[in-house]
A and B are shown apart, each in its own frame.
Chain A
Amino acid sequence: MTFHRLAAGGLIDRNKPLSFSFDGKTLTGYEGDSLASALLGNGQVLAGRSFKYHRPRGILTAGAAEPNALMTIGRAGRTEPNTRATMQELYEGLEAKSQNRWPSLDVDIGAVNGLLAPFLGAGFYYKTFMWPAVLWERLYEPFIRRAAGLGRATYDADPDTYDKCWAHCDLLIVGAGGTGLAAALTAGRAGARVIILDEHARAGGGLLCERATIGGWSAASFVSNCLAELASLPNVEVLTRTTAFGWYDGNVFGAVERVQKHVHEPDPSRPVERLWRIIAKQALLASGAEEQPLIFGGNDVPGVMMASAMRSYLNRYGVAPGSNVAIFTTNDSGYSLAGDLEDAGVTIAAIIDSRKDGPTAAYCGNARVVQGGVVSNAHGRKSLSSITVLKDGRSEDLRVNSLAMSGGFSPVIHLACHRGGKPMWSDTHAAFLAPQDLNGLALAGAANAVHGIQACLDAGAKAATDLIARLGIAAKQASFGVVEGDIIVRPARPLWKIPGVKGKAFIDFQNDVHRDDLNLALREGYGHIEHAKRYTTNGMATDQGKLSNVNAIGLVAEASGVSPADVGTTTFRPFYTPVSFGSLTGPSHGKHFQPVRKSPLHDWAKRNGAVLVESGLWYRSAWFPRPGEKDWRESVDREVKNVRINAGLCDVSTLGKIEVTGVDAAEFFNRIYCNSFLKLPVGKARYGLMLREDGHIYDDGTTSRLGESRYFMTTTTAMAAGVMNHLEFCAQTLWPELDVRLASVTDQWAQMTIAGPKARTILQTILDEDISNEAFPYLAAKEISLCGGQLQGRLFRISFSGELAYELAVPAGYGGSVADALMQAGKAHGIQPYGVEALSVLRIEKGHVTHNEINGTVVPADLGIARMVSANKADFIGKKMLLREGLDDPDRLLLVGVMPLRSTDSFRSGAHILAKDATATLENDEGHVTSTCYSPHIGSTIGLALVKRGAYRHGEDILVWNGIRDEYTPGRLCDPVFFDSANTKLHG
């Protein structure tokens, strides 16, 4: 008889049966079950297949370290591969499937790998599959990739939602076992802000599997009492189903709460998982200890289980491990299991104790005890049939249907090592302990190698008192009365190399790393524990070595005749247990991946039929199609022509706008721009060119002087944020002596360009002041009253298009209304809205540059505006580094215009420029096209380009080479100004 549910006992509710399915088979468990306990309760011992040899595997643990019982649960967008059956709560309708087997868990073809094992030793793949080279991608690798991997993930979108939150506390307690609860009560009663979390569905940790009594209460009732009191304390928050996965700088802990992973149909108003970012003044790690396996032949046969897990299934879930059980232990914990089994009526074939002098704990059971013996081999394929016990060289076979093993306990110290501290080996405890003096984090209880309920309760209470005392909070240590039936587990003597092993003795169960693999790695010089890990993949499975690292270190140490201290550990890194993308992402995905920034003219643009396009976080109007227009080009051509003939209105609200005040503002601009600003008169605007300290162009824009010490500056849309940071750096850090103040007013103003021959006429109709050419000439700027004093705005006579043009800024809320007024006023004059596509055509025709040209590698001379760089200013950002030979090398790429030889030809941005008849080689590469458009004005495609000595090659025929699109266009270099180079129109 194998694993089965007992008629009574455990913390499950037998009145609440839950039906679930495993590989399509319908089974029944109870509320309070884990998927693992429910499977065992149904006698389902075979739970999975191993990674490499596809060996049958059973449930090994009852917790987070489970390497074998990984299953795929859920379906469609809720499919979750590699779910640990030991951590998954059972719920009505749960669907679980086994993984990495074909055709079925019972009959898995992949198991033939077991026969090939001699040739599949550690790192065998580094030594073969090399000939012929081409077969790697074609044959070997696809096969390996198909064979590898565990579960299958879905491509479907996740129907559920995820949250994130921040939390602050005086004391964070990780682990709600006896230690943690004692700490929480101590700190909570003292009024400290406490958060205590536990990865399991139920708080209590090991106490939930204990049969001892505390202050007269059963361990389970004791836990309930603690939780009841904690719930009554407003300053304490208890989080179950919550795993602290990482310890980060600043004492920030990352934790994930599985809010609705235990229900069939999640409530849509709540997340399925919540990411916690907990900022803790102090933290206590009460995460317990992990029992370690023993490395004997066939230690992976289903039916072999960790002793503490067997005890947990028995006491917490009322599941007995068959009728005839053996226990193989190196320490006293095996005996507490023995007592519980016997009380549950399970026959114990033998307790095999590797110590000659055990047991010391109060064991009054009547099971046969083999002292100084070992289990050298376990037998059976899909379930355990017998074990070989070896003592004093004599071996004996025992028929058993399950075997509990305990190689001692290793404190769970992962989090304590996430910030660079190295674990230290302790010979006394035969375990790795957390580094000392962790700033802001302490360990207590089993996580600190303390054993026994009483000792852990005391340790937790004391630790809490000490930690909050550092915060100036005085606490009285909680005490809980006498503990009856406490079993103090003396540290185990390490038992690494077990004699008489015949079959494979597994170290890393999931990755199928066995003892011979480790020996081979050592033989081949991969002796450093990091090399051994990487060569054999030991510790790289989903349990991250929770059950395999210490044994591997021990075996390496024994083989090299040194102490585990000398071998050291591999690095503990986040995450303690795997964390889903969903929880790390929270709500920021899909359309909400990034916030949306809307122009004050957004709705106006939509009302006018704009096609909107992402531009950074903004949406901008690309063009305004009209009925009957067959493509975007037709709309854009119309908009461009209309600006040149009548007038157009374009939303430029996304430009960065900065108000600069202070008596030294002029001097400030003089230093941040490379051109001169000291003499800019009030009421005037000026184009400004901003360099980086390395001499290259950073950004450009216009700055207008609105008052003696009040300026209005614009930046490009793309650089707005960066420029503001830069200016603040200059003002606060470089020149604090300057009286200058900066305010971002980008969002305060709706700003629109009105461009075209009829712009003035149209504008004048809504402005209260004269804007004739005399009264308001090119580059004039002023505050102005609109519509009979209804509104104050700002008017700038600036032209990006080369036309008579103005930029009008009005308070953002009025943007739509003013734009409507202008459209109405301009109706008779043929005004039309135009978008960024037309804007781009107009500026290319005029030869104006944008960040297509200002790409971070150009200097003013490259764009033909070296004259703007002031020669007589003592200082400005970028002045000194601009004077490097490389920055005026005659071979630099210079701005130039490009046209196709045949007006019917076109070319695109990103094409390169080759000399006519030159062969297409990198040596012959002479530059590239930065901007292109179809120019209605010219009647063909035109472009701007950065070309070697381009400025001096106007009229030269070249080839526009776009090999990646297989387009080769004969063209000619020309003046980059295609339109009104005399600037008559913008002055008109």
Chain B
Amino acid sequence: MRYSALSVFLNGLRGNKDWKPAWRQPDPKPHYDVILVGGGGHGLATAYYLAKEHGITDVAVLEKSYIGSGNVGRNTTIIRSNYLLSGNNPFYELSMKLWEGLEQDFNFNAMVSQRGVLNLYHSDGQRDAYTRRGNAMRLYGVDAELLDSAAVRRMLPFLDFDNARFPIQGGLLQRRGGTVRHDAVGWGYARGADRRGVDIIQNCEVTGIRQKDGQVAGVETTRGFIACNKLALAAAGNSSRVAEMAGIRLPIESHVLQAFVSEGLKPFIDGVVTFGAGHFYISQSDKGGLVFGGDIDGYNSYAQRGNLTTVEHVAEAGKAMIPGLSRVRVLRSWGGIMDMSMDGSPIIDRTGLENLYLNAGWCYGGFKATPASGFCFAHLIARGVPHRTAAAFRLDRFARGYLLDEKGQGAQPNLH
């Protein structure tokens, strides 16, 4: 049933008894045209766009747990398209454009909220780097503004301007950046894909990839073998594990990134702000919790939990940026598993196996990329050629030396 103010009103009158399930709970069919491994944001988005943009509906999304149980279910909800490199920037801007029409498109309010993303800078060097980045954005028509200290102070007077170890010199602002209710993204895509005929199969873990004549024949799962014409992997966090089933070794390490939410507060901070003198970024959810995070813990991990040291570093940077946070209480911390790639940029590409497609390596930028990732991955699966905005996300770029290293850290995933 279509969601609208009217449907909410009418159902309310009838005691909300007539709402239907947002998606079916089908049993797996023996064969699908396309099987997507991973019922996270990217997998569900891919299924949605396969159906909507390419009319491919004989699709199954296999999720080992409940849908949205990966990073779309545990992130800091930020969307932005403030990228530097020409291989990245158009892709993330496509994502931003898709966000901007998403809710009307899939008829689900994911609370896409463009209240701005501000990156603070504290030195001439950072200012120059943000100038370069802002110009790269401008050249592609992406909104970007460079603010000086006074402008930042007018905007956020409660930051530490007077007693800071690393004084705030200014910031790079993208007004179209913002936040999205993360779970709703997964649910919205799931509901949209389901209504177009896609089978979303939960509690169905892929345990093996069956090959025949150098092709993928299908997948072994905890619910039996399922055959397919094309197999697409969107299991970020566990990409290496899944790819290994196909004998592929990836330029990826899995790392844990922690995030945090405070007790609910009346409006405290409007947009997203990132600290330039330490690892800290913060926004406030519509429910009132301050949502914030910092850097990854720094070691390979598949455990969705972090280290107290990192918690302290994040809090220190937070209070250094906003002294008023001192008495705010942190309610909850959690950890998500990141596909940290060797140059900090993702992979959307074909593989050595003709009908096996790979979507991986999102580092901690995967959430904002969800719509474009699904859109471009669907394009690759349907047409066999990369979408123009994702053409740089090649798997062979490491061997050929065409790296997408925004930070210039080299082959050291925990530094990206």
Asked if A574 and B332 make an inter-chain contact with CB atoms under 8 angstroms apart, the answer reads: yes
Residue of A nearest to B156 (CB): A155
Fill in one digit per residue for B283-294: 1 if any A CB lies within 8 Å of its CB, else 0. Answer: 010111000000
Asked if B330 and A126 make an inter-chain contact with CB atoms under 8 angstroms apart, the answer reads: no
Q: Could you say which of B21, B144, B262, B278 contacts A524, with CB atoms under 8 Å apart?
A: B21
Asked if B19 and A585 make an inter-chain contact with CB atoms under 8 angstroms apart, the answer reads: no
Q: With contacts A856-B405, A857-B408 known, is A126 near B128, CB below 8 A?
A: no
How far apart sit A130 and B122, CA to CA, in the bound complex (Å)? 39
Fill in one digit per residue for B256-298: 1 if any A CB lies within 8 Å of its CB, else 0. Answer: 0000001111111000000001100000101110000000000
Q: Could you say which of B89, B184, B263, B323 contacts A150, with CB atoms under 8 Å apart?
A: B263
Nearest CB of B to A49, in Å: 13
Contacts of A118 in B (CB 8 A): 12-13, 15-16
Nearest CB of B to A696, in Å: 6
Contacts of A591 in B (CB 8 A): 163-165
Asked if B330 and A581 make an inter-chain contact with CB atoms under 8 angstroms apart, the answer reads: yes
Closest 7 CB pairs of A and B: A856-B408, A910-B131, A886-B401, A884-B401, A149-B288, A578-B329, A525-B21
Asked if B136 and A922 make an inter-chain contact with CB atoms under 8 angstroms apart, the answer reads: yes
Interface residue B154 (Cβ < 8 Å from any Cβ of A)? no
Interface residue B303 (Cβ < 8 Å from any Cβ of A)? yes
How far apart sit A277 and B320, CA to CA, in the bound complex (Å)? 22
Count CB-based A-B contacts (< 8 Å): 348
How far apart sit A586 and B139, CA to CA, in the bound complex (Å)? 44
Please name 28 pairs of A and B residues whose Cβ atoms are closer than 8 Å in the assembled complex, sorted by A.
A121-B12, A127-B3, A127-B109, A150-B266, A156-B323, A516-B16, A525-B21, A525-B25, A531-B66, A541-B264, A575-B333, A578-B331, A584-B311, A584-B315, A585-B316, A589-B320, A590-B164, A594-B277, A614-B122, A692-B411, A693-B410, A856-B409, A857-B408, A881-B401, A889-B401, A912-B132, A924-B139, A963-B139
Among the 9-residue stretches A77-85, A390-398, A764-772, the one with 4 or more Cβ atoms under 8 Å from chain B is A77-85
Q: Please provide the chain B residues from 98 to 122 with a CB less than 8 Å away from any CB of chain A in the complex.
A: 100-101, 103-104, 107-115, 122
Residue of A nearest to B317 (CB): A593
Which residues of B come within 8 Å of A, CB atoms? 3-5, 7-9, 12-13, 15-17, 19-23, 25, 66, 68-69, 73, 86, 89-90, 100-101, 103-104, 107-115, 122-123, 125, 127-136, 138-140, 144-146, 157-158, 160, 163-167, 181, 183-184, 187-188, 202, 262-268, 277-278, 284, 286-288, 303-305, 307-308, 311-312, 315-320, 322-334, 397, 399-403, 405, 407-411
Among the 9-residue stretches A136-144, A230-238, A284-292, A346-354, the one with 4 or more Cβ atoms under 8 Å from chain B is A136-144
Nearest CB of A to B260, in Å: 9
Q: Could you say which of A150, A524, A574, A887 contacts B20, with CB atoms under 8 Å apart?
A: A524
Asked if B101 and A133 make an inter-chain contact with CB atoms under 8 angstroms apart, the answer reads: yes
Contacts of A886 in B (CB 8 A): 397, 400-403
Give me 14 other A-B pairs in contact (C-beta within 8 A), A130-B107, A158-B323, A524-B22 excluded.
Answer: A82-B263, A129-B5, A131-B104, A150-B266, A157-B163, A531-B66, A578-B330, A590-B323, A614-B122, A694-B411, A698-B410, A851-B125, A886-B403, A922-B86
Contacts of B19 in A (CB 8 A): 520, 523-524
Asked if B403 and A857 make an inter-chain contact with CB atoms under 8 angstroms apart, the answer reads: yes
Residue of A nearest to B335 (CB): A573
How far apart sit A395 and B122, CA to CA, in the bound complex (Å)? 70
Contacts of A728 in B (CB 8 A): none
Q: With contacts A584-B311, A857-B408 known, is A578 near B263, CB below 8 A?
A: yes
Nearest CB of B to A101, in Å: 12
Interface residue A248 (Cβ < 8 Å from any Cβ of B)? yes
Contacts of A156 in B (CB 8 A): 323-324
Nearest CB of A to B121, in Å: 11
Which residue of B107, B129, B317, B327 has the most chain A CB atoms within 10 A of its CB atom? Answer: B327
Interface size classification for chain A: 35 or more
Asked if B329 and A148 make an inter-chain contact with CB atoms under 8 angstroms apart, the answer reads: no
Residue of B nearest to A156 (CB): B324
Fill in one digit per residue for A143-175: 1 if any B CB lies within 8 Å of its CB, else 0. Answer: 011101111111111100010100000000000
Contacts of A158 in B (CB 8 A): 323-324, 326-327
Q: With contacts A525-B21, A530-B69 known, is A119 near B111, CB below 8 A?
A: no
Asked if A249 and B16 make an inter-chain contact with CB atoms under 8 angstroms apart, the answer reads: no
Interface residue A671 (Cβ < 8 Å from any Cβ of B)? no
Residue of B nearest to A83 (CB): B329
How far apart sit A77 and B383, CA to CA, in the bound complex (Å)? 60
How far apart sit A540 and B405, CA to CA, in the bound complex (Å)? 38
Residue of B nearest to A840 (CB): B124
Contacts of B397 in A (CB 8 A): 886
Interface residue A954 (Cβ < 8 Å from any Cβ of B)? no
Contacts of B101 in A (CB 8 A): 133
Q: Could you say which of B264, B268, B331 contacts A575, with CB atoms under 8 Å apart?
A: B331
How far apart sit A172 and B12, CA to CA, in the bound complex (Å)? 53
Contacts of B287 in A (CB 8 A): 148-149, 537, 540
Which residue of B187, B319, B397 has the most chain A CB atoms within 10 A of its CB atom? Answer: B319
Nearest CB of A to B225, in Å: 25
Contacts of A908 in B (CB 8 A): 128, 131
Fill in one digit per residue for A617-632: 1 if any B CB lies within 8 Å of its CB, else 0. Answer: 0000000000000000
Contacts of A149 in B (CB 8 A): 264-267, 287-288
Asked if B5 and A128 make an inter-chain contact with CB atoms under 8 angstroms apart, the answer reads: yes
Which residue of B265, B284, B303, B397 has the most chain A CB atoms within 10 A of its CB atom? Answer: B265
Residue of B nearest to A74 (CB): B327
Asked if B332 and A592 make an inter-chain contact with CB atoms under 8 angstroms apart, the answer reads: no
Q: With contacts A127-B8, A129-B109 known, is A150 near B288, CB below 8 A?
A: yes
Asked if B326 and A585 make an inter-chain contact with CB atoms under 8 angstroms apart, the answer reads: yes
Asked if B326 and A580 make an inter-chain contact with CB atoms under 8 angstroms apart, the answer reads: yes
Interface residue A774 (Cβ < 8 Å from any Cβ of B)? no
Asked if A885 and B113 make an inter-chain contact with CB atoms under 8 angstroms apart, the answer reads: no
Contacts of A524 in B (CB 8 A): 19-22
Q: Could you say which of B8, B89, B288, B403 contacts A922, with CB atoms under 8 Å apart?
A: B89
Fill in one digit per residue for A793-806: 1 if any B CB lies within 8 Å of its CB, else 0. Answer: 00000000000000
How far apart sit A693 and B412, CA to CA, in the bound complex (Å)? 10
Residue of A nearest to B3 (CB): A127
Q: With contacts A119-B8, A419-B305 known, is A528 near B66, CB below 8 A?
A: yes
Fill in one digit per residue for A866-908: 1 if any B CB lies within 8 Å of its CB, else 0. Answer: 0000000000000001001111010000000000000000001
Contacts of B307 in A (CB 8 A): 248-249
Nearest CB of A to B328, in Å: 5
Nearest CB of B to A654, in Å: 15
Q: Could you say which of A130, A520, A579 contacts B329, with CB atoms under 8 Å apart?
A: A579
Contacts of B262 in A (CB 8 A): 578
Fill in one digit per residue for A591-625: 1 if any B CB lies within 8 Å of its CB, else 0. Answer: 11110100000000000000000110000000000
How far apart sit A825 and B167, CA to CA, in the bound complex (Å)? 38
Nearest CB of A to B185, in Å: 11
Nearest CB of A to B114, in Å: 6
Residue of B nearest to A909 (CB): B128
Q: With contacts A141-B286, A524-B20, A544-B332 known, is A152 near B166, CB below 8 A?
A: no
How far apart sit A631 and B163, CA to CA, in the bound complex (Å)? 24
Interface residue A42 (Cβ < 8 Å from any Cβ of B)? no
Asked if A126 and B3 make an inter-chain contact with CB atoms under 8 angstroms apart, the answer reads: yes
Asked if B112 and A525 make an inter-chain contact with CB atoms under 8 angstroms apart, the answer reads: no
Contacts of B115 in A (CB 8 A): 137
Contacts of A537 in B (CB 8 A): 287
Q: Could you say which of B16, B130, B407 contacts A520, with CB atoms under 8 Å apart?
A: B16
Asked if A922 and B139 make an inter-chain contact with CB atoms under 8 angstroms apart, the answer reads: yes
Nearest CB of A to B12, in Å: 4
How far apart sit A544 and B262, CA to CA, in the bound complex (Å)? 12
Contacts of A924 in B (CB 8 A): 139
Nearest CB of A to B280, in Å: 11
Interface residue A51 (Cβ < 8 Å from any Cβ of B)? yes
Residue of B nearest to A914 (CB): B139
How far apart sit A578 and B327, CA to CA, in the bound complex (Å)? 11
Contacts of A615 in B (CB 8 A): 123
Contacts of B202 in A (CB 8 A): 528
How far apart sit A615 and B399, CA to CA, in the bound complex (Å)? 36
Q: Could you say which of B108, B132, B305, B410 contacts A126, with CB atoms under 8 Å apart?
A: B108
